[in-house]
Amino acid sequence: MQEYLPELRLLQLLALTSFVALAAWRLARRANPRSRVAAAVDAVLIVLLVQYLAVAIPGVLHLLYPAVIGLCALAMCGIIWWFAGTIPKPTPAKMQDRLGHWPIWLCGGFLLGYAGAFVYLFLTVPVTATDALVYHLPAAGQWLQQQRIDLYPTWFFNPANTFSPLAGSVWIAWYMAPLHNDLLARFAQCPAYLLAWLALMLLCRQLGASPVLAALLATAGALLRPIFAETILPKDDLQLTALFLASLCAMSRQRFGPIRLGVAVGLMLAVKFTALLALLPLLLMIDVPIRAGWKKFAVSMAVILALAGPWYWRNLVLTGHPLFPLDLSVGPLHLLHGPLSVSRSYRLANCGAIWQVLSGEYYSPPPITLICLSAMWLVGLARWAISVGSAMRTTKGGTAKMVRNAHPTLSDPLARAVTLGVPLVLAVFVFTSPYAEVRFVYPMLMLMVAAAALALRPMKRAKPSWNVFALAFAVALCLICLFTDFVAERSAQAAPLRIAGVITGIIATAIWLMHCLLKHAGKWFDRAVAAAAMCVAIGFLWINYHSDLQTYRANCDDPERLAASTNNLLGDMGDAWIAVRSRCKPGDVVAYTNFAEVYPLMGFDLSHPVVYCPARPDVDSMGHFPALPKHLPGEQIDTAFSKSLLCDGDESTWLARLTAARARWLVIRADDGVIPPELHFVADNPRRFSQVPGPASYRIYQIQ
Maximum average pLDDT range among 87-91, 379-383, 627-631 = 379-383
Chain-wide mean pLDDT for the chain? 88
Q: Is residue 526 scored above 70 in pLDDT?
A: no
> Does residue 677 have a cis peptide bond before it, meaning omega lies within 30 degrees of 0?
no
* Mean pLDDT (whole number) for 431-453: 94
Judged by average pLDDT, the poorest of 57-71, 355-369, 559-573 is: 559-573
Q: What confidence score (pLDDT) does residue 296 get?
A: 87
Q: Quote the pLDDT of residue 570.
A: 84
* pLDDT interval class at 536 (50, 70, 90): confident
Express each pLDDT in 461-500 by its tens digit: 666 788 889 999 999 999 999 988 876 666 777 788 888 8
First to last CA, the chain: 37
Q: How confident is the model at residue 95 (pLDDT cuts 50, 70, 90)?
A: very low
The model's pLDDT over 552-604, given as tens digits with 9 standing for 90+, comes to: 999 998 888 888 878 788 888 999 999 999 999 999 999 999 999 999 999 99
In the prediction, which pLDDT does 392 show?
66
Average pLDDT over residues 44-70: 97
Total number of domains in the chain: 1
- DSSP assignment of 411-453, as one string? H-HHHHHHHHHHHHHHHHHHHH-SS--GGGGHHHHHHHHHHHH
Res 394 pLDDT > 90: no
pLDDT at 301 over 60: yes
The pLDDT of residue 153: 95
What's the whole-number mean pLDDT along residues 249-259? 80
Confidence of residue 407 (pLDDT cuts 50, 70, 90): very low
Residue 542 vs residues 8, 120, 174: alpha-carbon distances, Å: 9, 14, 19
Q: Compute the distance between CA of residue 105 and CA of residue 512 in angstroms, rounded to an integer.
A: 7
Q: What is the pLDDT of residue 493?
A: 75
Q: Is 301 inside a domain boundary? A: no
Cα gap 39→692, rounded to integer Å: 58
Quick one: pLDDT band at residue 360, thresholds 50, 70, 90? confident
Confidence class for position 36, pLDDT limits 50, 70, 90: confident
pLDDT of 269 strictly over 70: yes
Looking at the predicted structure, is the pLDDT value of residue 437 above 80?
yes
Q: Residue 398's pLDDT is what?
A: 52
Per-residue pLDDT, averaged over 220-231, amounts to 94
Structural domain contains residue 531: no
How far is Cα 591 from Cα 613, in angstroms, rounded to an integer?
7
Q: How far apart are CA 145 and CA 528, in angstroms?
A: 41
The predicted pLDDT at position 403 comes to 41
**Residue 351 within any structural domain of the chain:** no
Domain assignment of residue 660, yes or no: yes
pLDDT band at 405 (very low <50, low <70, confident <90, very high): very low
For residues 485 and 223, the answer to whether their CB atoms sit within 8 Å is yes
Residue 594: inside a domain, yes or no? yes
Report the range out of 286-290, 523-527, 606-610 with the highest average pLDDT.
Answer: 606-610
| Residue 51 pLDDT grade (very low, low, confident, very high; cuts 50, 70, 90) | very high
Q: Has residue 92 got a pLDDT over 60?
A: no
Band of the pLDDT at 617, cuts 50, 70, 90? very high
pLDDT tier, 404 (very low <50, low <70, confident <90, very high otherwise): very low
Q: What percent of the chain has pLDDT over 70?
A: 91
Residue 587 structural domain: 572-703
Whether 699 maps to a domain, the answer reads yes
Q: CA-CA distance, 578 to 559, in Å (whole number)?
A: 7
Q: Phi/psi at 487 (nearest 5 deg)?
A: -65, 165
What is the band of 366 on the pLDDT scale with cuts at 50, 70, 90? very high
227: in domain: no
Which range has the top average pLDDT, 14-18, 115-119, 166-170? 166-170
The radius of gyration computed from the CA coordinates of the chain, to the nearest angstrom, equals 26
Question: Is residue 588 assigned to a domain?
Answer: yes
Confidence of residue 402 (pLDDT cuts 50, 70, 90): very low
Give the other-Cβ count within 10 Å of 539's Cβ: 10
Q: Over 70: is that where the pLDDT of 531 sits?
A: yes
Phi/psi class of residue 234: alpha, beta or left (left: φ > 0; alpha: ψ in -120 to 50)? beta
Residue 57 has pLDDT above 70, yes or no: yes
